[in-house]
């Protein structure tokens, strides 16, 4: 039986996916002094990821949050490759791919043969069962959920989720690593959508129902929650920021996993996703982002 690394032995971090979440995780890991390796489906995606990390760190330098020296040192710790062979010596690998279980399961099946026996595997899933994902690997005891909030360099929370087989050394390692990254870890049980999205996504879904039923316009709903509930942004603007496809995936996980009609995804959310209006990343969602300023689409 292999032994999970202690916190002191985590030196190299592998990241699967160079999108918004993967890049953000790479960003904070490199600033914390970890050797960071990223892979994605294309060379173009990897080039874009590194350029994005560089740009975000440059903004932090301009705001006085990071020194130029720290930024340069962090960027030198980041390397990329098109396949999982880059992870062969990694102590810890985290998956930050699309929020679809079949994609994640396929990734973990292909990943495990490349890893050393002691390596910990984590998933950044925001809703999917850690226990189910762990079961497709060769090391469920060294598998864990590590759900970062978006944008990763700004948000301080990390949900740490054990699967049924996750051992205590793995949990302690990931909790301690979260602290080293400057985050506040919160332990969550392995139930659909964990803590944050179990509460947040039904609220967003309800806001979409309010829009669907004509109770208020996009602007009215967002202004009401921003000014009336003191939310930093309205629920529909937040949905666009998260990605409407991700919102729908999480609601489907809740609806199927808890078998309660209160989690039924709003038909209007389904329609927007079917139209390809996925929010900010697609240029259109509940707002149209293609002009000088966002304009409500409904």
Round to whole Å and give the CA distance between 162 and 143: 8
Q: How high is the pLDDT of residue 6?
A: 52
- Among residues 12, 124, 127, 197, which one is catalytic? 197
- Among residues 23, 27, 95, 147, which one is catalytic? 147
Residue 282: CB atoms within 10 A of its CB come to 17
Cα-trace Rg, the chain: 19
Q: Give percent above pLDDT 90 in the chain.
A: 96
Calculate the average pLDDT of the chain: 95
Instruction: Map out the domains of the chain with their CATH numbers.
Output: 7-188 (3.40.50.720), 196-296 (1.10.1040.50)
Q: Which two tokens stand for residue 169?
A: 């050394």
pTM assigned to the model: 0.90
Q: How high is the pLDDT of residue 8?
A: 52
Q: How high is the pLDDT of residue 116?
A: 95
Q: How high is the pLDDT of residue 217?
A: 98
Query: Which H or E run contains 187?
Result: strand 184-188
**Residue 157 burial by Cβ neighbours in a 10 Å radius (0-12, 13-18, 19+):** middle
Whether 172 sits among the annotated catalytic residues: the reply is no
Whether 217 sits among the annotated catalytic residues: the reply is no
Task: Please write the tens of the pLDDT for every residue from 84-98.
Answer: 999 999 999 999 998
- Among residues 159, 178, 205, 249, which one is catalytic? 159
Task: Please write the tens of the pLDDT for every residue from 220-273.
Answer: 999 999 999 999 999 999 999 999 999 999 999 999 999 999 999 999 999 999
Q: Which two tokens stand for residue 144?
A: 């864990």
Give the residue-averaged pLDDT of 216-220.
98
**Span between the terminal Cα atoms of the chain, in Å:** 57
Contact 10, 177 (CB under 8 A): yes
Q: Which residue has the tokens 């999480």?
A: 250
Per-residue pLDDT at 169 exceeds 70 = yes
Q: Which two tokens stand for residue 230?
A: 């003191």
Give the residue-averaged pLDDT of 104-108.
97
- Among residues 12, 23, 124, 126, which one is catalytic? 126
Round to whole Å and give the CA distance between 186 and 190: 13
Residue 29: CB atoms within 10 A of its CB come to 28
Task: Please write the tens of the pLDDT for every residue from 130-163.
Answer: 999 999 999 999 999 999 999 999 999 999 999 9
Whether 219 sits among the annotated catalytic residues: the reply is no
Q: How high is the pLDDT of residue 9?
A: 80
Give the burial string for 225-240 (b: 16+ CB within 10 Å, else e): beeeeeeeebbbbbbb
Whether 226 sits among the annotated catalytic residues: the reply is no
Round to whole Å and give the CA distance between 108 and 130: 12
């Amino acid at each position: 039986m292999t032994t999970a690394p202690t916190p002191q032995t985590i030196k190299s971090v592998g990241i699967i996916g160079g999108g918004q979440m993967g890049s953000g995780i790479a960003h904070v890991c490199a600033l914390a002094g970890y050797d960071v390796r990223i892979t994605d489906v294309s060379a173009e995606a990897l080039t874009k990821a590194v350029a994005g990390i560089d740009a975000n760190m440059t903004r932090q330098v301009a705001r006085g949050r990071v020194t130029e020296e720290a930024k340069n040192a962090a960027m030198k710790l980041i390397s990329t490759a098109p396949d999982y062979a880059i992870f062969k010596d990694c102590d810890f690998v985290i998956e930050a791919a699309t929020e679809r279980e079949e994609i994640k399961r396929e990734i973990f099946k292909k990943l495990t043969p490349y890893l050393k026996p002691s390596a910990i595997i984590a998933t950044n899933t925001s809703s999917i069962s850690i226990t189910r994902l762990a079961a497709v690997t060769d090391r469920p005891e060294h598998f864990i959920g590590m759900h970062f909030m978006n944008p990763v360099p700004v948000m301080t929370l990390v949900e740490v989720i054990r699967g049924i087989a996750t051992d205590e050394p793995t949990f302690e390692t990931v909790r301690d690593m979260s602290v080293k990254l400057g985050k506040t870890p919160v332990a969550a049980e392995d139930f659909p959508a964990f803590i944050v999205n179990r509460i947040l996504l039904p609220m967003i879904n309800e806001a979409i129902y309010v829009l669907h039923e004509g109770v208020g316009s996009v602007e009215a709903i967002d202004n009401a929650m921003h000014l009336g509930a003191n939310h930093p942004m309205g629920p529909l603007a937040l949905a666009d920021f998260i990605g409407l496809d991700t919102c729908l995936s999480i609601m489907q996980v809740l609806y199927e996993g808890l078998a309660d009609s209160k989690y039924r995804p709003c038909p209007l959310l389904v329609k927007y996703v079917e139209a390809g209006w996925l929010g900010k990343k697609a240029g259109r969602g509940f707002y149209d982002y293609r002009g000088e300023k966002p304009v409500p689409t409904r």
